[in-house]
Each structure stands twice: as C-alpha cells, then as structure tokens.
Structure 1
C-alpha cells in the first residue's frame, strides 16, 4: 500500500520542477512511511511513497522497464491478490522478473496486455503508467473504488495523486470550492467522479483514464451488471462460502504482521473465524483488534440503532477462534482531542462530520499499527448482502431518493441545520439529491420477468454498492493510511459482489433477517451469540463528556465571530446548538456541532477559496 503523485506537462521540461514534484510526493508520506522515490524525464514526473508489504527489498518505486529502447515506468498503490498466477502466465509468455513484488507483475502485465491488464487483476489498486513509447499516461483504478485516485487537467497535461492534497501541493492546482463542491460535501450521495475541488476529478472505479497530447479520454472496463441467477438456496450458500474461503486465503498473503478488525458483528466475526481456521491449519494464530469506549459495556443504553454493546460478542469470537485479541479502549478526552480532529481532517481533505466515529477509527488504526501492518476488515458486507435497516424499512424502500438518507434523517438530523439560511437556499440540497438519485437509478438494468419488488431491491442494492459504500471505503482508506496501515476488504472482491448482487432478494433474506446468505454460509464457524445477533452499526460513544467537550470547543469558536467559517455557518444557529442541555444531546443534536468544528478546521488547514453564489 502506498501513495502516488505525478505531473505530465507536454509543453515544459519537468526536470526543472524537482522541488514541486518532491512536495507533491511528500504529502503522501503517511501513506508510505518506508521509502520515497521520484522519476523525472522531460514531460513526465512520477512520485511514490512506499508502505512495504510484499517483497520488502524488491518492490521499490517508481518501477521502470525498457521496451524497444523506450522506458515504461509505473507508480502503484494497492495489492493485486492474484499476482502469483499472473506472474506464471507472463513467464510462460517470455517475461523475466527481477523481484517477487506484485508491482512488477502489474507493470509487465501492461507490457503484455496494454490497458486490458486491468480486467485481469483481482485486488485493490490505483496506478499510473507513463508509456514513453506513446507519450501517454495511463491511470487505472480498481473496480469497487477501494483505493482513492484523483487528477486535475492542466492547460498542457495533468496532475494526479492518491489524494487531493498531492495535487493541491502543485501551484497550478486550484483551491476553489464552489456551491457544487459544498453540495457534494453535505449531500452524502457520492457522485462518481466528483472531487469537491473545482477542476479536480476522481478516477472513477473500474475506469481507465488516458492522457495524451490530444487530450484526456476515459474507458470503463468494469461496471455492476444484471445477470440471471441460476443457483438455488443451498447452492447459493455453498458458492458464497467457497468464494469467501478463496478470497480470505488470497488476502492473508503478506510479508508483514497481519490482523483482523473485529466488531462482534456478523461480517467481521465470519471473516475473523475463517481467517483463524486457515492460519490454524498452518500452525499460526491471527491477531484481532476491537474498539471500545471507557465504561461503554457496563453503562450501555440500547437505542434504535444499537440494541447491544459490541464487547461481549467480540470476546465470544476471540475465544471461539482462539485469536490473539486486544481491545483498544478510548476515553472521551481522546475522541474530542482537537489534534485528533485535525489529523482526521488532514487525512480526509474534507470537512465531513462523522465525529467520534472518525476519531475512534483513526485512534484504533494508530494503535493497531504498533503491532500489525495489514488488517482485514468486514467493510462492505452490509452493502453486498443487505444488512442495513433501510433494506427492510418500508419508508426507505418506497422513497424516491437514496434509501440511507431516509434512515439518516430519522436518526441524525441534517448537516445543514447550522448553515446560514441564505447558503442553505443557494445549495438547494433537495434538488441536488433528487437529480443525483435520478441519474443513479437510470442505468440499473432490470432482469427479464423481474417483479417490481425484486427490481426495487436490486436498485437499493445497486445504489449501496456504487454510491454508499464508496463513502465508507474512502473513510476506511484515509483513516488507515494516515497511520501507514493497510486495510484489506475481502467482501469487496468483485467476484463476490457480482454473484451476490444478482441473487434475488428472496434468497438474500430467506430467513426474514438481514444478510441471510452470509450467516448461513458461515454458521459452522460462528459462536451462537453472534449467529443470533441483530445488526449493530459501527459504535459511537454514549459518554456525555464527549458532548460537553464539543460544546466547549464550539463556544470557543463562537467567541471568534470574525472566523471565515461564519460565512458558511450561522452564528445564531450554532449558539443555539451549543446551548442545548447535555442530557438532551444525542447523535442528532451533536451533528451540528461536528459540522461547524470540522468546517472551521478545514478552512484553517486548507484555506479554500469558497465561491458561495
């Protein structure tokens, strides 16, 4: 796992721009703490920061090869899990390798198959190849969008990077954020290709972007397609189990310490149990880590989102699977620490307001990094198998909008509750969300003979797999890579996603519960307590001290009415939110406080040029 950056300029010699290329590359130091490298020749400059995971001495980048006397060079971030099979195919075709890294396999794969190498890769990846034979830059991103990748066209080429901060380090990049950028920030709809910053774009998942002297063109090499499902219930369950065994076996490969993220829910428990069994067969144990809060298990109060605390279920799995387990227990002082908030905002490049859930994830990953370099996560199983409440909520099912927004508004309120009234009107989030929703559902294919209900559930699944999950994947990537931890997501394997997506809803919920296929496919490795547990979201602290800390920080902000955040946030509305009695503050009422604090800090850190009209 690494960070990449680069600059293509067809009208200048970039050898004079070493300092700028170094600055762009340095912004990715957290993603790659082990090594740094740049490659600059004429019109092309590539930068790389490395987190060494496979072939520690041999995977240095930028990596180049000579073809007919011309250089082809690559910077690569991610992991390709089928690289050993691809390596053998390429050897049979006459390729010779000097390292054991997956990076070299991908580069030689490009030499053999060109851009079509993307269709042969199984993994998570974002990479850029400068092909001097054609004077082209080729940028490729994985199918599900697990690894981030951004680019910004210039007058004579392009800037690119794993994260926006790499691009923003170049003087050519614009720091302007328009109303559209703010709409995307607050809407929680994840429009494909949108990057918030004006002029910047996201390389979309499953897409190849090619830059040449003639301009920029894109090609989609993978998208989620509708196909008939022929297996019965037993056959579907068996196929899910077979896929999971193969996926986890592939994703356990690493030359550094590995672990799993264990929440005590079905997803992480099934993944941990399968990983533990596979390693036990080789005489090894898997480490597991869980996040918890001081006093949470003892003083837990059930609510509409979380009926039970995670702790007891985590320990059931750890005991049952004999993992080497550790709880990372956090206090409200850590969660509310302004420096932690600053690290979160720097990592995300955006003022998104997931509050203590972002802070705890960052702190969890920071603690894990002291022991492991690679972690397996259960992220995306809810999207794949249908685990969220909105999959079962009649109001969300029938709503003419993104189903999760119905659920969020019920429990968390709205991000625009503290925004200036004039800005709220200018943003017109209702229209933005409606237009985005209509665009999102327009291309979802319907199976011949599919009932209205099954087609609606297909739409809901598709929306979660192509919009919602990308928000969470980006969050997971940014928080983990901020501390140099590689997090792998087995449930995002495209083979599993395609197979389960096309299973009808009646199979996905055959026992009337969420994630029926996953539960049944892993029933033999789960403790009974976890098998019977109802879905519980990522945990959030219930400690009133956290809310008090937020209020005090907001009151400090209110005492600086000249802060530019008040061009966006209403001083009056925020003061009202900050004055709420602590016993009445829940996640919904905390939201406005989080929004204001994040926006203020983001403005301090990034100095965006906000265009609010």
Structure 2
C-alpha cells in the first residue's frame, strides 16, 4: 500500500510547480514511509509515497514506460493486485518484457496491452493514476469495492487528486470548506459514494474510473453488482464459499515483508486467521502471527449491552490455541485513548470527524502491530456480505423505510440532531437528507424478475450494506492503518465472493436459523466450537467509566472557553446537558461527547470554513 497524489493543468507548466507538488506528496508520508517519488512534465505532476511490500528493491514509483527515449505512460499506484503473477505470464506471452518483480509494473503493462480495459483483468484492492503522454490524458482508477480511497477535485484547466483529501488541500487551490451537503454527510453518518465532506472534492466511486482530458472529465463504471438466479443447492453453495475463501486468503498471503492477522474472536476474523494458518503451514512457513485489542480492566468492567453480549478476550484465546497461531494481545489504557496527541492524529488521519474511542483504539492497535508486521489480514466486511448484523434479522428494521442500521441504533448515534443549534437543525433537515439518500440507493438496486417480495427486500438490504454501510468501515480501516504505515487486506471484499453470495437466497444465508450461516458452515472445520456458536459482537469499545469522565471534563473545559468553532454547529446548552449525564449511564451521551470534542479538533486544526 502507498499514498498517491497528482496534478494535471493543461494551461500551466507544472515543471515550475515542484514545491506545490512536493507539498502534496509530503502529506502522504504516513501512508508510504519507505520511499518517495515525484514525476514532473509540462502538464502533469505524479507523486508517490511508498510502503514497500512486494519487490522491495524494484517497485519504485512513479513508474514510467518509455520508447526510444520518449515518454509513453507513467503510473502512480497504491494497493495490491493479487493475480499479478498470472497476468505477468499472460503479458509475457504477448511479448511484454519486465524489469522488476513488482505488481506495479504488471499493472503498467496491463494498460499498455488493454488500455482502460485493463480493469477487467485485475483482482485486488487498488487506487491508481495513469498519465498517457500519447493522448495527454489522465486515468484515475479505484477497485471494485472501494477498499482503497481516491479523491479528486476539478480546478481551472485540470484536476488535483490524492489518496486522501489532505493531499489535495496541500496544493492550495482548494480550500477546506464544508458546505451544507458536506455537513449533512458528516452529521448523519452517511457515506454517499462519490461524496466527501469538503466542497469541490469528490471521491472516485468504487468500481469506477475517471478520465481527464483537455475536453473535460468523464466518469465510467466498469463493475457493479448484478442480480441473477442462484442455481446451486445448499451443499454446493457452502463448498463454493469455502473454495473461494481458500483461494482468496492464499492469494492475499503473498508478501515480502512480515504478515499477520487481526483477530477479534468473532467468526469473521477467526475464519480468516484459521484459513491463513492452514495455508501457511501447508506451504512450510511458520505459524501466522495474530493480534487482538483489549482494554485495561475490560474483564472487570464489561457489561453486556444491545450490541455486545460477550467480551472478545476468551474467544480470541480459544482460536489462538485451537489454530496454534503466534498470538499477542495489545492492551490499551484510558490514558492512551484520551491522549490529545493520539486523538489529533486520528482526526488528521480521517481528514474529518472521528468515531471516538473506536477510531483511537484502532489507530493505537495498528501502531502497535506496525512495530511487528507490515501487512495484516482483516475479517472486515463479512457482516455486509453474509448478513451478520442484528438489523438484518430484525423485522422492524428490515421493513423500515430507511437504512436498516439507522432504524436500529438504540440511541447510539449520540443524538446529533439534539445537539445542533435549532436554526442549523432546521436548515440541514437531516431526516429529509437521509430519506433522499435512501431513495437514491434503492433506485440503484439490480432487480431480479419474478423474485418474491421478502427475498427482493433482503436483496435491497444486502445492496445497501455492500454499497453504503461498508464504505464507512473500509474508509475507517484504511485511514487508521495507513496513518501508521500498515497495510490491511480484506479477503471478504474479493469481488468474486461478494457477487456470488449477493445472489444466494436469504433462506440459504440463514439456513441454520442464525446469522452468517453460509460462512459458519463453510469454515467450521477450522474453528473451535466456542467460536462456531458465538453470537455476532462488533468491534469492542472501552467500558472504563474513567473514559466517560475524561470526556465530560474535556467538554467542560471547552464550554468554559466558549470560543470553539463547534458552537456555530452545536448548541452550548445541549453539550452542557450531555456533559452532566453520569458517567457510564448512557452510551449515546458518551458518544455524543466524543463526537463533539472531535468536531472541535477537526474544525480548529484544519481551519475549516463551515459554509451553510
């Protein structure tokens, strides 16, 4: 994984703009701590920061291709192409000659062979830009599920782009302005494909490419979920899921640097860890390294709630012992979670509002893992693919005329609409905005003729998760991991698996009367019985009452100063009331405090103008 950025201007000589281009590259140091590159020509600047994972010596970037001393194409690339070895053989048979062993060069030659049609040949997670000197055109490409981020902004006579908005903002042509739409996206916790919080900055949508030329910008979708009848019986379906998982995990174990897995003790991460362990041992390698997050006093403080019925620790150790992984717990303390430098680092990694201690703990977990490994495999996205969340199985949430996860929040959203100033709440009308975005998403769902109503509705619910909900989690995982130079791979986002399971009937996905029946059946042979039977539990959050108290103290100090830019957004009296809720008595209040403090950090540190 790496950080990419660049600038195209058809009316300016960018060879004279090295300082501005370098400033953009410098924002990506955390994503690529190993090396940097800047490729300048008259109308284009391509920048790169590298995290070396495959072909440590040979994969330097940006990577140009020349003929007879003349520029042909140049590539700045972030991600992994898991089928690069097969593609390399195919391209070699067509006469292509390679100078390195990197997947980057394979992507470059794929473009030389197939042009933009190269995207149909790639299996992986990636975001990259190709400048074609022959046509003076730029091609921006993002992977099918949107695992790797890629943002762009139209400017006079060209475009700016980067792995993160901070790279674009560093250029100076785009200012950190948040419009009403951007604020709605932030406060409603919606991640609409293509949107960003910043005015003028857009995100390349998953499965899309963007072509920039002198005549303008064109967007094209090259992949999308499609609906088709599922003809496999249950046994065949279970077998196919396992075959796919074995192939996916084995491909994603390719690395020239230390690799590990993220283990929570749930079905998803345990299945990935166990399959990875089995594959590595079969290849004659050492046991896989696994890491889990825990909190000081979590065993003593843990109280079941609507989302989490059991602590992770016992299940983590069950899997580690059963699969014989090389395991280590990373234990975090409240002081770490409230440390101002850590919280600021998270907001900067996010380029915006953080999700509180769940973001900070993930950042600290990844920072600790990075001292031991460079690549990690994650169980992220299995719930979206296989139907794991509680609201998939709640009749009222499924039938609600909104996003199912919003119909079943249990007050865990921090009550943002109650925190907003009355005038802003009326202007933003978050309920109407959510309704509009929900209708937009429903209109995209690929229908299947003759499908009975309940199955058709569950297809809608699955689509909403695979194109909306998962984007929030993938963005969070990418930002927190790349902020410390850790590459996280997500096997459950392989498009072959996503497409196959999307079309399996809901009755198959729940054939044993539980969530994620297909995944459980496909992997139970490599899991201890405790994990096979465990009920879904989300990423953990500290239950230390000192954390809530620390948030209240920080909010009190903010209210005492009275000059924070957040008071243009939220009402001081509402925040004061929230800060008076006894610590540990209201999870929603704690989350609201956390979000308010992070909003203050973001607006202040980025000098954001809220234009509403």
Pairwise same-fold verdict (TM > 0.5): yes
SS at the partner of 1:53?
coil
- Cα distance in 1, alignment partners of residues 412 and 598 from structure 2: 20
- Cα distance in 2, alignment partners of residues 87 and 539 from structure 1: 42
- Cα distance in 1, alignment partners of residues 454 and 414 from structure 2: 29
- Cα distance in 2, alignment partners of residues 554 and 243 from structure 1: 49
User: Quick check: 2:64–2:71 contact (8 Å CA) kept in 1?
Assistant: no
SS at the partner of 1:205?
coil
Cα deviation digits, residues 367-423 of structure 1 (max 9, x gap): 000000000000000000000001001111110000011122544443233221111
Aligned residue in 2 for 1:401: 402
- Cα distance in 2, alignment partners of residues 407 and 315 from structure 1: 31
- Cα distance in 1, alignment partners of residues 29 and 523 from structure 2: 39
Cα deviation digits, residues 314-354 of structure 1 (max 9, x gap): 000000111110000111111111211101100000114x2
Q: Does 1:458 align with 2:459?
A: yes
Aligned residue in 2 for 1:286: 288
Aligned residue in 1 for 2:5: 5
- The TM-score normalised by the length of structure 2 is 0.99
Among 302, 308, 311, the alignment partner of 1:309 is: 311
Aligned residue in 1 for 2:301: 299
Cα deviation digits, residues 527-583 of structure 1 (max 9, x gap): 000000000011011110000110111111111112222111211111111112224
Q: Does 1:522 align with 2:523?
A: yes
- Cα distance in 1, alignment partners of residues 516 and 259 from structure 2: 26
Aligned residue in 2 for 1:245: 246
Q: Does 1:32 align with 2:32?
A: yes
- Cα distance in 2, alignment partners of residues 570 and 158 from structure 1: 38
Aligned residues: 610
- Cα distance in 2, alignment partners of residues 286 and 295 from structure 1: 28
Bigger Cα displacement from structure 2, 587-596 vs 547-556: 587-596
Aligned residue in 2 for 1:271: 272
Q: CA RMSD in A?
A: 1.0
Q: Does 1:496 align with 2:491?
A: no
Aligned residue in 1 for 2:447: 446
User: Quick check: 1:227–1:447 contact (8 Å CA) kept in 2?
Assistant: yes
- After superposition, residues 326-365 of structure 1 pair within 5 angstroms as 326-352=328-354, 354-365=355-366
**Structure 1 unaligned regions, length at least 5:** none
- After superposition, residues 506-545 of structure 1 pair within 5 angstroms as 506-545=507-546
Q: Does 1:476 align with 2:477?
A: yes
- After superposition, residues 413-432 of structure 1 pair within 5 angstroms as 413-432=414-433
User: Quick check: 2:265–2:319 contact (8 Å CA) kept in 1?
Assistant: yes
- After superposition, residues 161-172 of structure 1 pair within 5 angstroms as 161-172=162-173
Q: Does 1:61 align with 2:61?
A: yes
Q: Does 1:52 align with 2:87?
A: no
User: Quick check: 2:36–2:49 contact (8 Å CA) kept in 1?
Assistant: yes
Q: Does 1:106 align with 2:107?
A: yes
TM superposition shift of 1:188: 2.0
User: Quick check: 2:2–2:78 contact (8 Å CA) kept in 1?
Assistant: yes
**Structure 2 unaligned regions, length at least 5:** none
Q: Does 1:135 align with 2:133?
A: no
TM superposition shift of 1:227: 1.2
User: Quick check: 1:126–1:142 contact (8 Å CA) kept in 2?
Assistant: yes
- Cα distance in 2, alignment partners of residues 251 and 320 from structure 1: 22
SS at the partner of 2:17?
helix
SS at the partner of 1:408?
coil
Cα deviation digits, residues 135-170 of structure 1 (max 9, x gap): 000000000000000000011000000000000001
User: Quick check: 2:274–2:526 contact (8 Å CA) kept in 1?
Assistant: yes
User: Quick check: 2:9–2:159 contact (8 Å CA) kept in 1?
Assistant: yes
User: Quick check: 2:413–2:592 contact (8 Å CA) kept in 1?
Assistant: no
Cα deviation digits, residues 434-470 of structure 1 (max 9, x gap): 0100010012122122110000000000000000000
TM superposition shift of 1:174: 2.5
- Cα distance in 2, alignment partners of residues 166 and 445 from structure 1: 35
- The TM-score normalised by the length of structure 1 is 0.98
TM superposition shift of 1:70: 3.3
SS at the partner of 2:330?
strand
- Cα distance in 2, alignment partners of residues 536 and 97 from structure 1: 47
